[in-house]
Chains A and B, each alone.
Chain A
Amino acid sequence: MPTTTIDVAALYKALDQKRKLHEISWRELAGRLDISASTFTRMAQGARPDVDAFATLLRWLGEPATNYMRGEEPAPRTPEGSQADLEAIGSLLRSSRSMTPDQANAMENIIRVAWENVVKD
């Protein structure tokens, strides 16, 4: 494993902040930079961009690559288990439009378990 890696989460966050300042969607940003919109979808999941895309993104941010390089020391992490209380559990659901309270409660319980099952940054 290489000793230096890209901090994809930090890079994605920086891009997101600038994108919002410009009031454009990820797809619009991809179009402006002539890269695939899927690059951003993949980065949101923690996947690294390819070298050309990385260089393009850094140029748009106006930042050096070293800002997003991480060495052997792991970046500080948020303590596990506290996130559920801090942020809403987001979901997009395909089911019947109407549910009984019991069905909705069961679904909510399942979504909470699912949330715990999603890999964290």
Chain B
Amino acid sequence: MRRGFKTQSETISLELRSEVGLSAHDRLNCTALASHLAIEVVPITELTAAGASASDMSCVLDTSTGFSAVTVYRGTRCKIFYNPYEPPTRAANSIAHELSHVVLEHEPGQSVSDGIRSWNDSQEEEAAWQAGALLVPRDGAFVWLHRRGNVATGAAHFGVSQKLFSWRANSTGVAAQLRRLGDRAA
């Protein structure tokens, strides 16, 4: 990741949270954040009524495809389509991931073309990190664990999986910081 990106991601998270009236310690409603950004978020299954074939939809939603969400651009406008069959914590992360692409000004491309899936490593890595920062800001994870909360209750509070909460605590240095402070919750 480019130098300074991790710090910037925390700044962006706190800025956006502030704009929707949330602190670092609050649970983020990704749909509300999308609405604030004037970005529509809909389940991809709505496209069946818009002409998508049942066989294509079935194929995309098959678990082996691993489809979580896609942001589709038309000129400067975009819309996020997500997999409504994923667990709520996973769906929140998927929507946060797509919103992250938008706020990080990632260039949309042809994700799939002529039967081939394209992949942009740096954009995906940044979006994954930014999504984590949006959902669980470093300060939020620190305060939660420092006040004798734990990973399970933190995950439930922030509306994310325990795996994501734990990853945030470890990758942002919160867990190490708490260990140094002698905090058993870490």
Residue of B nearest to A99 (CB): B117
Residues of chain A lying within 8 A (CB to CB) of residue B74: 83, 89, 115, 118-120
Q: Contact: A95 with B103, CB < 8 Å?
A: no
Residues of chain B lying within 8 A (CB to CB) of residue A108: 112-115
A56 within 8 A of B: no
Residues of chain A lying within 8 A (CB to CB) of residue B98: 92, 94
Chain A contact residues, majority secondary structure = helix
Q: Contact: A106 with B103, CB < 8 Å?
A: no
Q: Contact: B72 with A106, CB < 8 Å?
A: no
Count of A-B residue pairs with CB < 8 Å: 185
Residues of chain A lying within 8 A (CB to CB) of residue B19: 36, 38
Residues of chain A lying within 8 A (CB to CB) of residue B77: 44-46, 118-121
Distance of B106 from chain A, by nearest CB (Å): 6
For chain B, which range describes its interface: under 10, 10 to 19, 20 to 34, or 35 or more residues? 35 or more
The docked-state distance in angstroms from the alpha carbon of A26 to that of B116 is 31
Distance of A40 from chain B, by nearest CB (Å): 9
A58-70 interface code vs B (CB 8 A; 1 in, 0 out): 0000000000000
Residues in chain A within 8 A of chain B (CB atoms) = 9, 12, 25-27, 36-38, 41-42, 44-47, 83, 87-99, 101-111, 113-121
Residues in chain B within 8 A of chain A (CB atoms) = 12, 15-16, 19, 36-39, 44, 46-47, 50-53, 55-57, 59-60, 62, 64-79, 81, 94, 97-98, 101-103, 105-117, 119, 123, 127
